[in-house]
Copies of this chain bind each other. A is one copy, B any other.
């Protein structure tokens, strides 16, 4: 794989500018210390169902901000544009992913409401600071994400499975990772599952539904966190007329410091 430039120290506005001007890559490790976020964009008439789905599934869908219909920027992305500042987007029609785009200006509509949802990349700095390895960063790939057999609580027309991200950890560091991430409830908080993937319906860790597989070192245990791709899985399962999401792992980098989402 090509050498990846060091983007860890970019300010969020600088990172968003890179993506706006064409850089396409997963965002784990970029702008270290700043919160990253999932995005789900839907027409106004689906917005209540999305917000209610989030309220009923707070572990996977912690809403950090909502942009009113037609609004293209917000308080978490000063000077930014939600149509261009994410590395890659997926357009859904009737639940089918029909296009991957790096700019959705051509698909924008005045009735689109944007939900900005917490992402577990946000607590990875805290894990790294505690000496806990993050495999997908070490291996230079996107985080692996999986659909589970765990159903979300439905809301109106929306329902679907819980999606999780996975980080393999040394057995001796699982407890610390639980303790540290539980302090970040707005970005998925503590793991939803530790250990056997089959118990939550994951058949093969080597074939994630989204993102890339990671090599699991000897003696490491897979640890699963709720994932903000869950609303997109609900779109795929529930087939609303139109929606746009970020490409999994290709997040909005916000101006908020990760510590703003930590509880004391």
Residue ranges of A at the interface with B (Cβ–Cβ < 8 Å): 47-48, 51-52, 55-56, 63, 66, 68, 156, 182, 185, 263-264
Q: For the complex, give the distance between the alpha carbons of A156 and B66 in Å.
A: 11
**Contact indicator B48/A55 (Cβ below 8 Å):** no
Give me 14 A-to-B residue pairs in the complex whose CB atoms sit less than 8 angstroms apart, sorted by A's number.
A47-B48, A48-B48, A48-B51, A51-B51, A51-B52, A51-B55, A52-B66, A55-B63, A55-B66, A56-B66, A68-B156, A182-B264, A185-B263, A263-B263
Chain B residues with CB below 8 A from A263, complex form: 185, 263
Q: For the complex, give the distance between the alpha carbons of A56 and B156 in Å.
A: 21
Q: For the complex, give the distance between the alpha carbons of A98 and B56 in Å.
A: 32
Chain B residues with CB below 8 A from A55, complex form: 51, 63, 66
Chain B residues with CB below 8 A from A182, complex form: 264
Q: For the complex, give the distance between the alpha carbons of A66 and B55 in Å.
A: 8
Chain B residues with CB below 8 A from A56, complex form: 66
Q: For the complex, give the distance between the alpha carbons of A66 and B156 in Å.
A: 11
Q: Which of A56, A66, A182 has the most CB of B within 10 A?
A: A66
State the Cβ distance, A41 to closest chain B Cβ, in Å: 15
The 7 closest A-B pairs by CB, nearest first: A48-B48, A51-B51, A55-B63, A47-B48, A52-B66, A55-B66, A263-B263
